[in-house]
């Protein structure tokens, strides 16, 4: 087995101890690097531990660069990898540190490194974490169309409601424009309620109350959509193997064609 093959099993495989260890170590290094980016942004820490952060950052960048080069080397189609989603995420994880040499002062550039966090999900994907996640995502996908209709209706409601409150409050006390008033409508209807914009007129308060109760009621809609989708999702896989009829629940014989199939004792 060549070095390339061995690396392949370690980097992509989860069936060897080395492969599993590689994933676990990488997971912790990614979390550490995200933590560094976060703590570096805290003014007190960033100033006092400037040197420490600088050293850790370079060590991590070198590790990630090595990993990136190995991934390119062992990939069967290097070009495809480089321009794939994960390839770009990997590049964005290391590029800002190198660019900080040339582009001094571009402070926020370094923040891009936070996207390293996404790499956690690739590692988890490898260790077969994602079977259950798949079920969740399937359920959400199947209800995507209904949810998008809901959101279109929601956007129309907040636009009209924001315009009404803009007229009612007379463009004063924060309700200075329609977009600003739509921001208020979203804050209200989602029950976030920052309190930075609140109605001051009697009519404004009345409309706000209506907005809150509407928001309180329509949160039931996405919840209902997702619950029904998940409830259906749990029945997936219990189709008749003979005639292909779907959703033959809890039956030992397909009640469509009579074919016996092995019952799954579902948990």
Nearer to a copy of itself, 78 or 179 (CB): 179
Record the tokens describing residue 127, joined without a space.
């260790």
Look at residues 86, 85, 72 and name the one whose alpha carbon lies nearest to residue 8. Answer: 72
Q: Least separation, in Å, of the C-beta of 169 and a copy of itself?
A: 11
Q: Least separation, in Å, of the C-beta of 258 and a copy of itself?
A: 9
CA angle 40, 41, 43 (to 5 degrees): 95
Nearer to a copy of itself, 55 or 220 (CB): 220
Spatial contact of 49 and 122, defined as CB atoms under 8 Å apart: no
Nearer to a copy of itself, 14 or 223 (CB): 223
Q: Least separation, in Å, of the C-beta of 95 and a copy of itself?
A: 16
Nearer to a copy of itself, 43 or 76 (CB): 43
Nearer to a copy of itself, 79 or 213 (CB): 213
Question: In a 10 Å sphere around its CB, with 0-12 CB exposed, 13-18 middle and 19+ buried, how is residue 105 labelled?
Answer: exposed
Q: Least separation, in Å, of the C-beta of 89 and a copy of itself?
A: 12
Residue in this structure with the two tokens 């798949």, named with its chain if needed: 134
Q: Least separation, in Å, of the C-beta of 14 and a copy of itself?
A: 18
Nearer to a copy of itself, 8 or 96 (CB): 96
Q: Least separation, in Å, of the C-beta of 60 and a copy of itself?
A: 17
Nearer to a copy of itself, 10 or 211 (CB): 211
Q: Least separation, in Å, of the C-beta of 16 and a copy of itself?
A: 25
Spatial contact of 87 and 118, defined as CB atoms under 8 Å apart: no
Spatial contact of 75 and 7, defined as CB atoms under 8 Å apart: no
Angstrom distance (rounded) from CA 188 to CA 197: 10
Angstrom distance (rounded) from CA 198 to CA 181: 10
CA angle 57, 59, 60 (to 5 degrees): 65
Angstrom distance (rounded) from CA 84 to CA 118: 14
Record the tokens describing residue 88, joined without a space.
């770009």
- Beta-bridged to residue 260, according to DSSP, are 253
Record the tokens describing residue 201, joined without a space.
């007129």
């Amino acid at each position: 087995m060549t070095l390339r093959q061995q690396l392949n099993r370690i980097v992509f495989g989860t069936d060897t101890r080395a492969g599993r260890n590689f994933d676990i170590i990488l997971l912790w290094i990614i979390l550490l690097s995200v933590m560094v980016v976060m703590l570096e942004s805290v003014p007190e820490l960033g100033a006092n531990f400037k040197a420490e952060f600088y050293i850790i950052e370079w060590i991590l960048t070198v590790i990630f660069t090595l990993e990136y080069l190995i991934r390119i080397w062992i990939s069967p189609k290097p070009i495809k990898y480089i321009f794939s989603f994960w390839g770009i995420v990997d590049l964005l994880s290391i590029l800002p540190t190198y660019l900080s040499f040339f582009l001094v002062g571009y402070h926020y550039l370094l923040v891009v490194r936070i996207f390293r966090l996404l790499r956690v999900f690739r590692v988890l994907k490898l260790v077969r974490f994602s079977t259950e996640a798949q079920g969740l995502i399937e359920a959400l996908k199947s209800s995507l169309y209904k949810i998008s209709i809901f959101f279109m209706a929601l956007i129309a409601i907040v636009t009209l409601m924001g315009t009404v409150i803009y007229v009612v409050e007379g463009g004063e006390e924060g309700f200075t424009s329609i977009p600003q008033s739509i921001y208020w409508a979203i804050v209200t209807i989602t029950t976030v309620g920052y309190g930075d914009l609140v109605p001051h007129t009697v009519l404004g308060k009345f409309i706000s109350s209506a907005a809150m109760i509407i928001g309180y009621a329509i949160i039931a809609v996405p919840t209902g959509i997702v619950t029904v989708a998940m409830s259906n999702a749990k029945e997936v896989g219990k189709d008749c193997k003979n005639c292909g009829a779907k959703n033959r629940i809890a039956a030992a014989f397909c009640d469509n064609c009579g074919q016996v199939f092995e019952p799954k004792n579902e948990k």
